[in-house]
Structure 1
Amino acid sequence: MNECKAVVIGGSAGSIPIVVELLKALPEHFTYSVFIVLHRLKNVASSMDMILMNKGNGILVEEPDDKEVIQGHHIYLVPQNYHLLIEPDKTISLDYSELVHYSRPSIDVTFESVAQAYAGSAVGILLSGANKDGADGLLAIVGAGGTAIVQDPATAEYPVMPQAALDRNKRVLIMKPEQIATFLHALND
């Protein structure tokens, strides 16, 4: 059985068009588990799962349930108003604890959890956003031997988030959205 690998994508303001572009770039045979952490309004009904549902080239996009077993070839959209953590047994834990960087879900919380669970098999991608959420999480992914990518701040509608990650960690890769898409498409090769 192949070792399960993970891609975790975090974003906030200005990131949704890039997330759609990245999902469309995934090959049909993509075997990684993909986790998407997007800042969303917490008390407003969201249809983000429906927006992303048919964007993954035949890969199922779902908001997971607590204690769900993680599978490859799945895209997990972190549910609105919950932090998502990965347990050592590769199950999902949904958490309703305090906001982190004014957000729940927090990108840092999920990125740090992915770093612990997947170590060198993790790829973290941080996109456009208006706060510093995700910078510490990318540092954790790099520290665990994984790969960290930030959207080139010059291409981000809101460059604060990717720039904060660059300021915090010089070992991240800087890519334009189309370069990130190419990178993801090539992961299974």
Structure 2
Amino acid sequence: MRTTFPGADPEPPALPRVDAIVVGASAGGVEALLKIFRPLPKGFSLPIIAVLHLPDERRSLLAEVFSSHLAVPVKEADDKETISPGTLYFAAPGYHLSVEADFTLSFSQEERVYHSRPSIDILFESAADAYDGRLAGVLLTGANNDGAQGMARIKEYGGLTVVQDPAQALARTMPDAALALHTPDFLLPLPDIGLLLVELERIAC
């Protein structure tokens, strides 16, 4: 497990080629996501699919808010939508979001997971099944255990796992839960996670 990126080592860490990135966050997640996504340049080619826990009784403004701050296209995911390169997708409130084997997105209204719908675990586990080892999972701040099982699934399939340093998270329960189940490839502060995402895209091109 590495705790810096790119770090002071004379040789940078070897990173795998990935086809997609999935990200989960809860309490404190808006600011955390902005920090890791701001470094992404125009033309960033990897799809990113994100779950942020929000109340489901009102419309989400995440796509509008993030579009005004980022260089990459941002949208709320649609049911049965084909995943496009270089797009940041946010899960819609009130629906679990899954990645299907044909790389489309699908909605469901199954039971809440850790009182949440959408669930980070459901997104991560379905994406791990679809992308096999060519997936990066990123788990950030949050006040419940959602995402820990999903990160373990991504690791089991040979994907890359990245957890925010709990000591720097607004709510450390979610990162701590992930660490209790598996050892991630990287345990990083938010600025380093942004740099890592940029490097993953460079390798994938």
TM-score with structure 2 setting the length: 0.87
* Alpha-carbon offset, residue 29 of structure 1: 2.5
Aligned residue number for residue 7 of structure 2: none
**Aligned 1:124-135 pairs, distance under 5 A:** 124-135=137-148
**Aligned 1:24-173 pairs, distance under 5 A:** 24-57=38-71, 59-173=72-186
Q: CA RMSD in A?
A: 1.4
* Alpha-carbon offset, residue 47 of structure 1: 1.5
Q: Distance in 1 between matches of 2:185 and 2:99?
A: 22
Instruction: Kindly indicate whether the alpha-carbon contact (under 8 Å) linking 2:18 and 2:200 is maintained by their aligned counterparts in 1.
Output: no
Q: Distance in 2 between matches of 1:171 and 1:127?
A: 13
Using CA pairs below 8 Å that are at least 6 residues apart, which structure has the higher relative contact order? 2
CA deviations 1:53-102 (Å, max 9, x no partner) are 23331x21111211111111111111111111111111111111110111
Greater alpha carbon shift after TM alignment, 18-27 vs 130-139: 18-27
Q: Distance in 2 between matches of 1:181 and 1:80?
A: 25
What is the total number of aligned residue pairs between the two structures?
186
Unaligned runs of 5+ in 1: none
Q: Distance in 2 between matches of 1:188 and 1:65?
A: 24
Find runs of 4+ consecutive structure 1 residues off by over 3 angstroms: none
Unaligned runs of 5+ in 2: 1-16
